[in-house]
Amino acid sequence: MPHTQQVVAVRDTHLFVDDTGEEGLPIILCLHSLFLDSRMFDGLIDAVRGEFRVVRPEFRGQGRSDLHDVDVITMDDHAEDILALIEVMGLKDINMLVQSMGGDVGVRVAARRPELFRKIVMAGSSARGETHKEYVTWTDRASVHGFVGDILEETLGVMFGETIRNDPERTDIVALWTDRINALPRSLRPAMLGVMTREGALDLLPSITCPVLIFSGVEDHARPPEWGKEVADALPDSELVVLEGVGHSPTLEVPNIVYPKIIDFFRS
């Protein structure tokens, strides 16, 4: 089966899915961050080519998936979508890589169907409800003005740590995602509000029985390392790796550090 980009009907929506498509290879299911999309995992594809099949959906209301004219798209909405997608695509024995809101969705999916998952990696993520009340105002401003000016800078400040934003050798990755975030539509509001008003899922973590590897950046102000620690403490089988000089997006900020660890974890 060749590498495909397809739109898959699930429940009452259509999800864009990038699938490397190899038959017979173990699967890595990637769930992306808010403001980013499936392309945030581009660096994984070449690193695991011929060894893993990589399936990268984009959430409803985001990326190239269907938009929805609703007030809010909840983490439970996304979780039901992903469970339906897993069933439609016949995915089993899944390794799952999640970042930021991908983790909010991923823990709900894995807690409901733990038998589907072999191993999970969480990066820049947590299972706590949102506590930054100012994020709702940020959502409202972005839905009116778009991702420009101060709103764009605020978004970049959340998504990337100070170290990478001030590193002249990594301006290319920051510039790439600055352009992509700048292009986000104001219609992102329902998806954004779902993250900013999400309920906690810490009570679900004991149901996740597979091994979980957690990366948390010291410069992650949206989901600081203590949030990663409470996830690790609540899981039956987990390891927490705290990264100095890293913010909210470890797979983009330090792929040379995290991807080898992730691949070794999924291989073992």
- Looking at residue 1, its pLDDT comes to 60
Query: Could you tell me what percent of the chain has a pLDDT over 70?
Result: 100
Quick one: 70 exposed, middle or buried, by C-beta within 10 A (0-12, 13-18, 19+)? middle
Whole-angstrom distance, CA of residue 151 vs CA of residue 15: 27
Assign 3-class secondary structure to 10-67: ECCEEEEEEECCCCCCCEEEEECCCCCCHHHHHHHHHHHCCCCEEEEECCCCCCCCCC
Taking the model in full, what pTM does it have? 0.97
CB 190 within 8 A of CB 70: yes
- Looking at residue 69, its pLDDT comes to 85
- DSSP H/E element including 4: strand 4-10
**48-84 confidence digits (pLDDT tens):** 999 999 999 999 999 999 988 899 999 999 999 999 9
Across 160-188, average pLDDT: 97
